[in-house]
Amino acid sequence: MSVKLISAPIGLATLLAAMAAPAAVGQEPSSETASVEQAFQMKRCVNMGNALETPNGVSWGGLYGPEDYQRIAAAGFDTVRIPIRWSAYTGPAPEYRIHPDFMKLAKANVQAALDADLNVIMNIHHFEEIMDKPEEQMPRYIALWKELSAAFADAPDNVWFETLNEPNKNLKGKLMRQTQTAALAIIRSKNPERIVIFGGEDWSGIRSLGSNAATDDPNVVYTYHYYDPFNFTHQQATWLGDDMPKGKRGWGSSEDRQQLAADVATAVAFRDAVKRPVFVGEFGVNDPVDAGERVKFNDAVAEALEGADIPWCLWAYGNTFRLYTDEKGWDEPMLRALTD
Reference 199, options 170, 238, 236, 171; nearest CA is 171
pLDDT computed for residue 5 by the predictor: 31
Does a structural domain hold residue 334?
yes
What is the domain range of residue 321?
Answer: 12-339
Does a structural domain hold residue 6?
no
Does a structural domain hold residue 274?
yes
pLDDT computed for residue 223 by the predictor: 98
pLDDT computed for residue 34 by the predictor: 60
Reference 152, options 197, 122, 174; nearest CA is 122
d(CA 278, CA 212): 12
Domains of the chain: total: 1
Coil/strand/helix, residue 280: strand
Does a structural domain hold residue 4?
no
The one-letter amino acid at 71: R
Reference 284, options 233, 335, 337, 208; nearest CA is 233
pLDDT computed for residue 6 by the predictor: 32
Does a structural domain hold residue 7?
no
Q: Is the separation of the CB atoms in 126 and 87 below 8 Å?
A: yes
Does a structural domain hold residue 154?
yes
Q: Is the separation of the CB atoms in 184 and 161 below 8 Å?
A: no
Determine the longest span between alpha carbons in the chain, in angstroms: 54
If the chain, 340 residues long, is cut into consecutive pieces of 10 residues, what is the mean pLDDT of each piece? 37 48 38 73 97 96 96 98 98 97 98 98 98 98 98 98 98 98 98 98 97 96 98 96 95 98 98 96 97 98 98 96 96 96
Q: Is the separation of the CB atoms in 164 and 179 below 8 Å?
A: yes
d(CA 291, CA 309): 27
Q: Is the separation of the CB atoms in 122 and 149 below 8 Å?
A: no
pLDDT computed for residue 35 by the predictor: 80
Q: What is the mean pLDDT of the chain?
A: 92
Q: Is the separation of the CB atoms in 252 and 289 below 8 Å?
A: no
Reference 14, options 308, 210, 271; nearest CA is 210
pLDDT in tens, 149-203: 999 999 999 999 999 999 999 999 999 999 999 999 999 999 999 999 999 999 9
pLDDT computed for residue 86 by the predictor: 98
pLDDT in tens, 295-329: 999 999 999 999 999 999 999 999 899 999 999 99
Q: Domain with 39 in it: what CATH number?
A: 3.20.20.80
Does a structural domain hold residue 182?
yes
